[in-house]
Structure 1
Amino acid sequence: METVNEAIKDLRNELKDVIRSLEYAHEEINALKSSLKTVNEEKESLVSECQSLRKLLNETIPRLDYIDDQSRRFNIRFSGVHEAKGENAEQTEHKVAKLVADKIGITPNLEREHRVGKHGSGPRDIVARFATQRQRDAILAKRSQLKDTTIYMNEDFCPATVEMRKKLIPQLKTARAEGKYACLSYRKLIIRSFSLRQTNSNKETTTDKNEKKSTSMKPIELFSPPKTNQPISQHDDSSPQKVEAGPYIDKTEDGMNDQLDNRTPPRDTSRVDSDLALPKPIRETVKRPRRPQSKK
């Protein structure tokens, strides 16, 4: 019995130790839960802040690209210009000025020019900055004069705008192959469904329709002759016409009064048509009392 009691005491002590460890574990779990809750709250705040920063970044990048493009609006990028070994800024300036003066016919007013890109098999591009945007636009308007050469002139844009324009070039080529009007305007591709041939054909069809309408329309008689049973005699302008003299008209005051009296007889006011006769006014008859006769 003593051994059994000692064994029971040992089990009870072990059970108490297990209970204490479980309580301690529960306390740790509760602490971890509270810390995890705070971590989740911080995570949500960080996620919302990251989303707002990403939105702000997406809004600012196009603005920065636009500012960069606006700072390049005085520039022209020349491609295909020969590059000599050890070429300096003065030599590049001389090449650009000579090219613009000989091929385009404009004496440029350059502020700065330099080559961009890495050294490779071909010549690097030249970015030239002009004094005014008007002169730069005038030079770009005459870029077609360089068709017979291996030199190209283009507007100078930031790398992001250049990549966007490169992606639109295949669509530009397909639209032009179909005969449509297509061009690039900054970062947009403009395509119009009509072509020059269609517009000319439409003009021809409209003119043909107008001609048909004009031929089908009948002439309008402004003055129609009076309808009489007697035939209208045709007079020749060459033959003299007989003119009968009218009666003599006395233009004095007495003569005019006599003529007016003869022409317009006095109106008979006593005679009134039955239709125009006015109704007679209705008189109300009032019966008056008779006076009593006096007896004689």
Structure 2
Amino acid sequence: MDNLVREMQDLKNSLNFSQGELGDVKTVSSKNVDKIKQLEQDILTYNNEVTEIINKVDYIENQSRRNNLIFDGIKDDRKETWEQSEVKVKEVLKNKLRLNTDAIEIERAHRNGRPGDRPRPIVVKFSRFKDKQSILRHAKLLKGTPIYINEDYSERIRQKRKDLLPALRAARERGQVAHIRYDKLVISDRGTANN
């Protein structure tokens, strides 16, 4: 009988010890849950801050490209200098777009990429934003030629614009007037486009 009482007491002590350990585990677990919640909140805050920084950097990059245009399809010479690229762009402006090149100041013109089967695009930075806008208004005169003029955007914006192309084509097939402005698709019905 004494053995049975001792075993019962040992079991009771063991159970009390286990309950104490379990209480400690619950306390530690509760503290860990709180720490995890705080870490999740910190990560969310940091992710928001990183996204904000990425957006600001992208904005600054696009602002630095504000006066740029990309001329694609102009004949390429393998060892073309910046000066030669500028002359070729001015020839397009004068002969194809019928613009007075004496009034347009080019800050810099250079080829982008490596020589290959196709002509490398020429990135042109104009001194004045209004020159860039004037060239874009006249770009429709290039229709039917192998030369294209596009605005120069950051990689992030170029990807967004590329992703919008299927929706742009679909809207045009439905008879809507559609174009991409910066990184947004603008759609209107033909009847409201002139309003």
Q: TM over 0.5, yes or no? A: yes
1:23 offset after TM fit, Å?
4.4
Structure 2 distance, partners of 1:136, 1:167, is 25
Match in the other structure for 1:101? 94
Match in the other structure for 2:73? 80
Greater helix percent: which structure? 2
Question: In the superposition, relative to structure 1, how do residues 118 and 18 fare at CA in structure 2: closer, same or farther (>3 Å)?
Answer: farther
Please, what TM-score do these two structures have when normalized by structure 2? Answer: 0.77
Check conservation: 2:78, 2:115, Cα contact below 8 A: no
Structure 2 distance, partners of 1:13, 1:176, is 90
Structure 1 distance, partners of 2:118, 2:86, is 19
User: Are residues 1:144 and 2:140 paired?
Assistant: yes
Structure 2 distance, partners of 1:103, 1:156, is 21
Question: In the superposition, relative to structure 1, how do residues 166 and 182 fare at CA in structure 2: closer, same or farther (>3 Å)?
Answer: same
Question: In the superposition, relative to structure 1, how do residues 25 and 188 fare at CA in structure 2: closer, same or farther (>3 Å)?
Answer: same
Give the residue type in structure 2 aligned to 1:134. K
Question: Greater RCO between the two (CA within 8 Å, min separation 6)?
Answer: 2
Give the residue type in structure 1 aligned to 2:156. A
Please, what TM-score do these two structures have when normalized by structure 1? Answer: 0.54
Structure 2 distance, partners of 1:21, 1:122, is 82
Match in the other structure for 2:37? 44
1:76 offset after TM fit, Å?
0.2
RMSD, aligned α-carbons: 3.1
- Secondary structure at 1:142 match in 2: helix
Check conservation: 2:109, 2:125, Cα contact below 8 A: yes
Structure 2 distance, partners of 1:38, 1:16, is 33
Larger Rg: 1
Per-residue Cα deviation, 1:226-263 (whole angstroms, up to 9, x for no partner): xxxxxxxxxxxxxxxxxxxxxxxxxxxxxxxxxxxxxx
Of 155, 159, 168, which residue of structure 1 is paired with 2:155?
159
| Number of residue pairs aligned between Structure 1 and Structure 2 | 190
> In percent, how many aligned pairs have the same letter?
33
1:38 offset after TM fit, Å?
1.0
1:192 offset after TM fit, Å?
2.5
What is the 5 A alignment of 1:174-189? Answer: 174-189=170-185
Of 14-23 and 117-126, deviating more is 14-23
